[in-house]
Structure 1
Amino acid sequence: MCRWLAYSGEPLRPSTVILDAKHSLVAQSLDSPLGAETVNGDGFGVGWYPVGSVAGSIPATFHSTEPAWNDENLRELTRAVESPLFFSHVRAAAGPPIQRTNCHPFRYENWLFMHNGFLGEFKKMKRDLTFAIDPSLYPSVLGTTDSEVLFHLALTLGLVDDPVKGMNAAIDEVERVGHEHGVLFPMQGTIAVSDGATIWAFRYSSQGRSRTLFHSVDIPTIREMYPDVERVSQFGDHAHVVVSEPLNDLPGVFHEVPEATVAILDRTGYHHEPFRSE
């Protein structure tokens, strides 16, 4: 469906991973070996928190319907800014039209959200799920994707206070409504959410066969494993990425996030918790 990347750590030019890695996000937009679609050329987006951001800071975003590999603005922007936490997403449209408001990541106040996957037979569920969004949040729904509805449903159900509980409640509602409409597997995908300090990365599907999700190991560990790889010197000790698929072929650098799991990334590193594993 799509490919995405989330970075947290010392301030970094996004181009380092979005453009310059061997299997960068832009490379994956042209050729995604682990994706449901090989090509993800139906637009892209970047969202980043500025250097020196404090709690509650609003992230900047840039979206385009151009293929990521063909947009000079993406190259200029990601080489010009630095950020301690950023999201990027390349899209393969599965139904909703190719338009800028349908490009991830989505933003609400200081929150960023992106999704790889789909809500099964969304047309059957769309009305009920949209009407379940809090009326005060509804004006913030600018596009037509199932992903944006899922984000605002999670906001309605408590994501700001507790992202894990909020996402769990939103998916509960998706599966309840889906089953009422005869949808066998209503939820599919991986999700990234951030408040500017922490990243929550979810891997879950109703079928138990979710889209791929990986995260890097600690940079000091990578330096010990590969002391001669010069590229590692570009990253600080706290640099981590969560990705739809690995950015390089070095064994041991990326670990797969298990099915029905949320990987929580903060300044102390990763913490895995079961998510809807029952």
Structure 2
Amino acid sequence: MCRWIAYTGKPIYLDTLVTKPDHSLVVQSRHSQMNYTNSGQRLSTNGDGFGIGWYDKRASPGLFKDDLPAWHNTNLNNLCHQVKSHTFMAHIRATTTGDIQRSNCHPFSYKNWLFQHNGHVSHFPKLRRQLQLKIAPKLYPHLQGTTDSETFFLLALTYGLVENPKAAMQKMVAEVLQTLNQIDKKGVLNLSCAISDGHKLYTLRYSHNEAPMTQFVSTDASCLAEFDDSKPRIPSGSTIVVSEPLDNVSDKWTKIDSNTFTTIYRNNVTTERFMDD
């Protein structure tokens, strides 16, 4: 499974979260602490590619992705040291579906939207054709890779992500579950997603027939530096969402409940129930 971070608030350099913390995303790419396979085995490395998407003054986001491990790419360190952003997300990949190739690395983008995902769906090779036939014809040419994640994103766009992100994700999940149940009623769908249009940040934590992927949020400016002033601080009025905390100060991070959809805007964090039983 994958690891990711998402940030929104006052502009900061990307390295504040991606490379500098004790348990930064790059560190997690080699030494993840909370990443487990379906069988319960800890997966410590996420070396199947990485990506960063960020917003600055233009509507469309910047995007940098590679199929190399995050710890192996010196360009990543240089970029993160120079680029500043008010809203960004970053992802390190441990593949369960799709080859190790750049087009399969997250985040995925469409116009001003970014999407990244940790999780999976059972039997995706059997589901792929039926699900992708549901993608709107105008969006289908944007399908470049072979992952379930990119298919989920394009389905959500088809179902109105731009107008109503929560409703679109609900429709997407319902479509995937309906298709999955035709093959295997005990099949698994697991979604820990971050989505942004450059103004708001949305996250989803949802699972079906499996324990959910981990997801945490912090609005505490000292969440990275409580015991060490040399560590970076995030500006007050900012929010970070992560797959696992970026240091060991656990009381600064709040676990996001399962089956919830979270909207973050100007440091207002609103969490709603996602799907009815």
Q: TM-score, normalised by structure 1?
A: 0.93
The within-5 A match list for 1:78-227 is: 78-207=80-209, 209-219=211-221, 226=226
2:39 is matched with none
1:219-258 paired onto structure 2 within 5 Å: 219=221, 226=226, 229-230=228-229, 234-258=233-257
Deviations 1:35-87 (A, max 9, x none): 1221100000000001x34xxx0001000011001100100101111000001
Moved over 4 A (4+): none
Displacement of 1:93: 1.2
* Deviation, structure 1 residue 231: 5.2
Post-superposition CA distance 1:232-273 (Å, at most 9, x none): 773211221100000111131100001111121110421111
Write the distance in 2 (CA, Å) between the matches of 1:62 and 1:167: 25
Judging changes above 3 Å, is the alpha-carbon distance between structure 1 residues 260 and 72 closer, same or farther for their aligned structure 2 residues?
same
Show the counterpart of 2:65: 63
The structure-2 alpha-carbon separation of the partners of 1:24 and 1:104, relative to structure 1 and needing over 3 Å to count, comes to: same
Q: Residue 43 of structure 1 corresponds to which residue in structure 2? A: 49
Q: What secondary structure sits across from 1:219 in the alignment?
A: coil
Structure 2 portions without partners, runs of 5+? 37-42
TM-aligned CA deviation for residue 229 of structure 1: 4.3
Please tell me the root mean square deviation across aligned C-alpha atoms, in Å: 1.7
Query: Identity, % of aligned pairs?
Result: 38
Asked if structure 2 preserves the Cα contact closer than 8 Å seen for 1:120 and 1:188, the reply is no
How far apart, CA to CA, are the structure 2 residues paired with 1:16 and 1:272? 26
Cα–Cα, structure 1 residues 263 and 229, in superposed 2: closer, same or farther, change >3 Å? farther
Inter-CA distance 90–16: structure 2 relative to 1 (3 Å threshold): same
Residue 207 of structure 1, CA deviation: 1.6
Task: Note the alpha carbon deviations across 1:152-201, whole angstroms, 9 max, x for none.
Answer: 00000111110000000000000000001225234112011101011111
For 2:183 and 2:130, how far apart are their aligned partners in 1?
Answer: 10
Q: How far apart, CA to CA, are the structure 1 residues paired with 2:72 and 2:33?
A: 20
SS where residue 252 of structure 1 aligns?
helix
* Conserved? CA contact 1:8–1:86, under 8 Å: yes
Contact 1:219-1:232 within 8 A present in 2 as well: no
Give the whole-Å Cα distance in 2 for the aligned partners of 1:135 and 1:100. 24
Aligned pair count reads 271
Quote the offset at 1:109 in angstroms: 0.4
CA shift, 1:213, in A, is 0.4
SS at match of 2:180: helix
- Match for residue 34 of structure 2? 34
Residues 96-123 of structure 1 show CA distances to partners (whole Å, capped at 9, x for unaligned) of 1000000000000000000001111101
1 CA distance for matches of 2:73 and 2:63?
Answer: 15
- Distance across 2 between alignment mates of 1:183 and 1:65: 34
